[in-house]
Amino acid sequence: MRWERFDDFDALSERAARLLLEHLATKPDSVLALPTGRTPIGLYARVVSACNRETHCFAEATTFNLDEYVGIDSSHPGSYCTYMKRHLLDFVDLKPGNAHIPNGSINDAEPLLEECARYEQLIAASGGLDLAFLGLGRNGHIGFNEPGTPFDSRTRVVELAASTRQANAADFPDGSVPLHAITMGIGTILAARHIVLLASGASKTDAVARLRSGAVGEAFPASALWLHPDVRVLTDVPLEA
């Protein structure tokens, strides 16, 4: 695990954007896993300004979002589909058919299971994830893999922790934070060839310290990243010596 510490969010975002753009320059047909949340907003803003529709950065790329809420329409203002359009997809030359986000608008159990299997198969059929960008939940979640998630888990429906729903409540001003989500599993994420974890802000200090301790266990999902051979952690929280 390679640790890179930055003085602030802007510097972290700049580095993350450079890593993504360099990866695309080296392998234009990259298959990327992309996160949502507040942390990657600076990354996406820089990628959008560096890479408009004329520069063809994403023309051959494929993206898979890590997760999506269940039980809301993709057009809901709080959905990750809406988020991705607002921060990236409406501004770059990614082919619409190559930008994948789990379909969480399904309500019935059986079709939801099928959607998870379809998503997992689609990742495999695309050649597997080349580079996965991840955010870090305050409780150590990656994607929506909450504490207790088996490290070999694959794309599936999960129940969101109360603390996660609280952390994401601002996206649902009427208080209707979904109870469930579809998320890539930890096993799906660990199968990526390269991983970049972004952790920004004082609210992540404890989670970063816990990750940095090196203790690996299912009680802290991000600790699974210690089992992967190529992980960079980009953070702006103070690191102990």
Which residues are designated catalytic? Answer: 67, 139, 141, 146
Contact pick of 30, 36, 79, 155 for ligand GLP (by CB under 6 A): 36
Contact pick of 37, 78, 140, 221 for ligand GLP (by CB under 6 A): 37
Nearer to ligand GLP, 62 or 164 (CB): 164
> What whole-number distance in Å separates Cα of residue 82 and Cα of residue 39?
16
Contact pick of 13, 30, 39, 149 for ligand GLP (by CB under 6 A): 39
The CB density around residue 162, as the number of other CB atoms within 10 Å, is: 10
Q: Which of residues 180-219 bind ligand GLP (CB under 6 A)?
A: none
- DSSP for 178-216, written as a single string: -SEEEE--HHHHHTSSEEEEEE-SGGGHHHHHHHHT---
> What whole-number distance in Å separates Cα of residue 62 and Cα of residue 59?
9
Choices 97-105, 116-124, 137-145, 228-236 (CB under 6 A): range interacting with ligand GLP? 137-145
Nearer to ligand GLP, 56 or 138 (CB): 138
Contact pick of 30, 149, 168, 235 for ligand GLP (by CB under 6 A): 168
Nearer to ligand GLP, 31 or 208 (CB): 208
The rounded Cα 140 to chain-centroid distance in angstroms is 13
Nearer to ligand GLP, 38 or 56 (CB): 38
Residue 175 in 3-state DSSP? Answer: coil
Closest CA to 156 of 63, 67, 34: 67
235 in Cβ contact with 136 (< 8 Å): no
Least distance from ligand GLP to the Cβ atom of residue 50, Å: 21
102 lines the binding site for ligand GLP (CB under 6 A) = no
> What whole-number distance in Å separates Cα of residue 20 and Cα of residue 32?
9
Choices 44-52, 107-115, 135-143, 184-192 (CB under 6 A): range interacting with ligand GLP? 135-143
9 in Cβ contact with 198 (< 8 Å): no
Which residues in this chain contact ligand GLP in the complex, by CB under 6 A?
35-39, 66-67, 135, 137, 143-144, 164, 168
